[in-house]
Amino acid sequence: MSETHTANPEMAELWNGPGARSWITAQALLDEAFRGFETLLADMAAEAGARSVLDVGCGTGATTRAIAGRIAPEGTALGFDLSAPMIEHAQKLADQEDSPARFLAGDAQTHDFPAASFDLIVSRFGVMFFSDPVGAFANLRRAAKPGAALAMISWRAISENPFMTVAERAAAPLLPDLPKRGGGPGQFAFADQGHVHSILDEAGWTGVSSEPVDMMCTFPASALDTYLSLMGPVGHLLAKSDDALRERVMSAIREGFSEYISGPDIQFTAACWLTRATA
């Protein structure tokens, strides 16, 4: 099921268009790289004895499926995302794996979730894109049972995550139209936890806390070109570039990643926050 209107039209366009194409194509390598976060959230759900879990901005659903696998049959997990193609892909993978996870497309900022229906709300990198974060987290709080827990993973500052901007730095001389990273909704919007705590306080969550999590992430070096040609602002621009420019950019940025090659793998540290709160 999907909704046709959204309070986040720009993000809906991104995540139903180029963002979805990139994340679906790179799904296996992204899930491999970010598996540590999937395990962290699934462990939390299992240890808490969660019975009804909502995974916000679930994308292609690896975290939802991992949680569902840990808490079924007593517990259920619903993956929710703005991107209809990513939800379709998530459901397809769940069907293939015979996973009990369920998926639904819509805007978490405004979706009319049944009130007081989840005892745990989680997210792996899916909550930094709201145009009205206070409204979104108030909406999620209404969906949470009283006393329910929120546990979400978001990126710390760009400066602490140099891996994420290697491609931009290396490609900048060749791609003058490369958009600059700015404030506002996006990958690093929750880097300032003071800001995040004030959003959650205002949205009615209590007991807000955050702890840094440094996760070693790994994917095969043979997948580096796939990663580079799909992800981030460079990947999005390359999708529209001709072959000659594409090859010049790719060889410039491959060079920039040499320090992350470790034997057959690419390895980098994801510098993130685990933010928790109670409804």
Ligand X SMILES: C[S@@+](CC[C@H](N)C(=O)[O-])C[C@H]1O[C@@H](n2cnc3c(N)ncnc32)[C@H](O)[C@@H]1O
User: What residues line the site for ligand X (CB under 6 A)?
Assistant: 8, 11, 15, 30, 34, 57-60, 62, 80-83, 86, 107-109, 124-126, 129-130
State the residue number with the nearest CB to ligand X. Answer: 59
CB of 103 to ligand X, least distance (A): 11
Mapping DSSP to helix (H, G, I), strand (E, B) and coil, where does residue 265 land? strand
CB of 182 to ligand X, least distance (A): 17
Cβ-based nearer residue to ligand X, 138 or 245: 138
Pair 81, 59: CB distance under 8 Å: yes
The amino acid sitting at 183 is: G
CB of 30 to ligand X, least distance (A): 6
Token pair for 139: 């909406």
Cβ-based nearer residue to ligand X, 80 or 257: 80
Number of helices (H), then strands (E), belonging to the chain: the values are 12, 8
By CB atoms closer than 10 A (0-12, 13-18, 19+), residue 131 is middle
Cβ-based nearer residue to ligand X, 57 or 75: 57
CB of 229 to ligand X, least distance (A): 17
Pair 196, 190: CB distance under 8 Å: yes
Cβ-based nearer residue to ligand X, 28 or 46: 28
Mapping DSSP to helix (H, G, I), strand (E, B) and coil, where does residue 236 land? helix
